[in-house]
Amino acid sequence: MTKFSLEICAYSAESVLRAARAGAHRVELCAGRLEGGTTPSAGLIQEALAVGDIDVFPIIRPRGGDFCYTDAEFREMLYDIEILRETGVKGIVTGILLPDGKMDMHRMAMLKDTAGDLELCCHRAIDMTNNMLNAIEDLIELGVKRVLSSGGHNTAIEGIETLSQLQQTYGSHIEIMAGSGVNSKNITSLIDSGIRHFHASAGRLEPSPMQYRNEHISMGKESGADEFARFEADETEIVAMLAHLKNLN
């Protein structure tokens, strides 16, 4: 397995470009930042791939909210994966749960079969399972490459003890990737706990170039969101995190 890695959650082609320039190993490509990431458009995927020099892993998540999907939503996921196989992406990020909190391994197996040679990462759906250890063992048996987790807590730092346990128990069989709130100020604590794979937004809000702004209308339904700001990856922050990881050499 790779000695260490840093994945950046990117919501635009510009963020993919910045992640590549800074030296990140791959991006999880998403739409829907305020929903925690949803399946990106075909156009965004093509623009991300055009950047080059970085692996692109689109998330396969048809909507925000829970990870228990209807039959129609599941068919949508399968169709998205079939299309992605022809694009040249390195892998996909996804996860499905049953109503009782177990990983839906029947559907996960169908996703993996559809993905073919694409690498498969299970996202933080695992943090919502009723037994993370059982879920990871099932994912290992299925042949999943890596799992993104915050240790069952809101942030990776809060779940650091669980993440350390997962790394010690399963790290030789599957990549345990810590995510949620990971940054250059706390990554050393996670490294010291044994974690070697990391996921971070490493982003910042940047002002819109719009000069005329109609402040009386909101295009979104989420209150408090600044619609004249754009969330983009911060190269300086990515470089700072990579500096800590390169010390492992």
Domain that holds residue 47: 5-246
pLDDT of residue 43: 97
Helix (H, G, I), strand (E, B) or coil at 68: coil
Angle, helices 13-22/42-51, rounded to nearest 10 degrees? 20
Helix (H, G, I), strand (E, B) or coil at 108: helix
**Does the pLDDT value for residue 174 go beyond 70?**
yes
Q: How many domains does the chain have?
A: 1
pLDDT tens for 36-50 read 999 999 999 999 999
Specify the CATH number for the domain of residue 15. Answer: 3.20.20.380
**Does the pLDDT value for residue 223 go beyond 60?**
no
**Does the pLDDT value for residue 224 go beyond 90?**
no
Q: Which residues, 6+ apart, have CB-to-CB distance to 212 below 8 Å? A: none
**Does the pLDDT value for residue 221 go beyond 90?**
no
Tokens representing 63 are 């909507």
Of 239 and 229, more confident: 239
Give residue 27's identity as a one-letter amino acid code.
Answer: V
pLDDT tens for 98-133 read 999 999 999 999 999 999 999 999 999 999 999 999
**Does the pLDDT value for residue 249 go beyond 70?**
no
pLDDT of residue 219: 79
pLDDT of residue 150: 97
